[in-house]
Amino acid sequence: MIRPMWLILLGTGCGGGQGSVPEAEVPWATWDGGQLSARHVNDAAATALSQLERDHEVKRWELLRRTATQQVDRALLDAEAAARNVDVETWLSDALKPPDGGAEWTEGERELRQRRLLEGLRSAHGVRVSVPYPELPRSEVPVDADDPTLGPADAAVTLVVFSEYQCSYCRDLDATLARLVERHPENLRIVFKEFPHAGHPRALAAAVAARCAAEQGLFLRAHRDLFDRQDALSDADLEGLSENWGLTDPEAYAACRTSGRYESAIMDDVRVGRRLGVEATPTVFIEGLQIVGAQSLEVYDEIIRRGSGR
């Protein structure tokens, strides 16, 4: 369990005798006519301190998970080399050798091929790295009636995702979410919230297009098509893409996109996200547990199973 930072800060000195000022009330800043107590400063920094603690625990988890994976990879490589009576470096050199007559790989190409080689070995040997995700403080994430959803309303686990359509990591995560739904069709509900980034000028327009498609029951079709066409999100593109969605009323969709009625709802998503500490996309909350970035399928799967009691 993570101790609140203000308790750590206030508990590092020796206590005074009877009648001394409580540590929380010790002035940390003074000026003519005023002062700020330790408690006041800690209260003002509470949100930032909470995020700092969360980041520390997540980085620790990432380090442990990466270390476990590296140790497994080394064991697999040792076994492959031993089976051929050579050392690991020799086996890797042979395994990563370009095709006959082919040019030597660039450093980047070699790294990519080695990564794929290791992924193949892990798959072949049924590797599962399950360093538990830290049990961080959970947040109450509001779900609105008009938020697009996937999965049964009474599912044991609710996953809320803040993403946007010009974010490549969000596209990767969306593919992972589709696989999670296949694994947990009865136990998982996904709620989609928008968090368009200021540096992605077409993200807001794409989000509006998805919401307008949702009016005709076509959110998921639009949602996945928009991710597939991230480089084609101009107004003309959004109008053309909609021809693939099977709209029952194309004119209503076109009018919806220019009406401005969804911009405020999308910016409400952004405000909610910021209040919850969302700073980047994608950010996921599984039963209020915040997970930043597009993690692997196994990471989400483990947390969902823990939440659903499976």
Residue 139 lies in a domain: no
pLDDT at 16 over 60: no
Q: Please identify, among 107, 124, 141, the residue that sits at the C-terminal boundary of a domain.
A: 124
Residue 51 lies in a domain: yes
Q: Considering its fold, how many domains does the chain have in total?
A: 2
Question: Is residue 198 very low, low, confident or very high in pLDDT (cuts 50, 70, 90)?
Answer: confident
pLDDT > 90 fraction of the chain, expressed in percent and rounded: 70
Residues 172, 294: one domain? Answer: yes
Residues 196, 283: one domain? Answer: yes
pLDDT of residue 257: 93
Select from 223, 245, 122 the least CA-distant residue to 178: 223
Q: What would the two tokens of residue 75 be?
A: 């064991």
3-state DSSP call for residue 140? coil
Residue 16 lies in a domain: no
Residues 211, 82: one domain? Answer: no
Residues 272, 174: one domain? Answer: yes
Residues 6+ apart with CB under 8 A from 226: 165, 206, 209, 210, 233, 241
pLDDT of residue 20: 74
Residue 300 lies in a domain: yes
pLDDT of residue 72: 96
Residue 132 lies in a domain: no
**Contact status, residue 171 vs residue 202, Cβ threshold 8 Å:** no
Residue 40 lies in a domain: no
Residue 289 lies in a domain: yes
Residues 154, 234: one domain? Answer: yes
Q: Which domain holds residue 262?
A: 149-308
3-state DSSP call for residue 139? coil
d(CA 163, CA 188): 18
3-state DSSP call for residue 232? coil
Residues 158, 86: one domain? Answer: no
Residues 117, 166: one domain? Answer: no
pLDDT at 251 over 50: yes
CA angle 284, 288, 291 (to 5 degrees): 30
Long-range contacts of range 215-223, CB-CB < 8 Å, 24 or more positions apart?
A: 215/252, 215/253, 215/256, 216/247, 216/248, 216/249, 216/252, 216/253, 218/245, 218/246, 218/247, 219/148, 219/192, 220/148, 220/150, 221/245, 221/246, 223/148, 223/174, 223/192
pLDDT of residue 2: 47
- The predicted model gives 233-245 an average pLDDT of 91
pLDDT of residue 76: 96
Residues 181, 303: one domain? Answer: yes
Residues 177, 290: one domain? Answer: yes
Residues 175, 291: one domain? Answer: yes
Question: Is residue 14 very low, low, confident or very high in pLDDT (cuts 50, 70, 90)?
Answer: very low
pLDDT of residue 147: 94
Query: Percentages helix, strand, coil for the chain, rounded to the nearest 5?
Result: 55, 10, 35
What pTM was computed for the model?
0.76
Select from 74, 69, 124 the least CA-distant residue to 298: 69
pLDDT of residue 18: 47
Question: Is residue 12 very low, low, confident or very high in pLDDT (cuts 50, 70, 90)?
Answer: very low
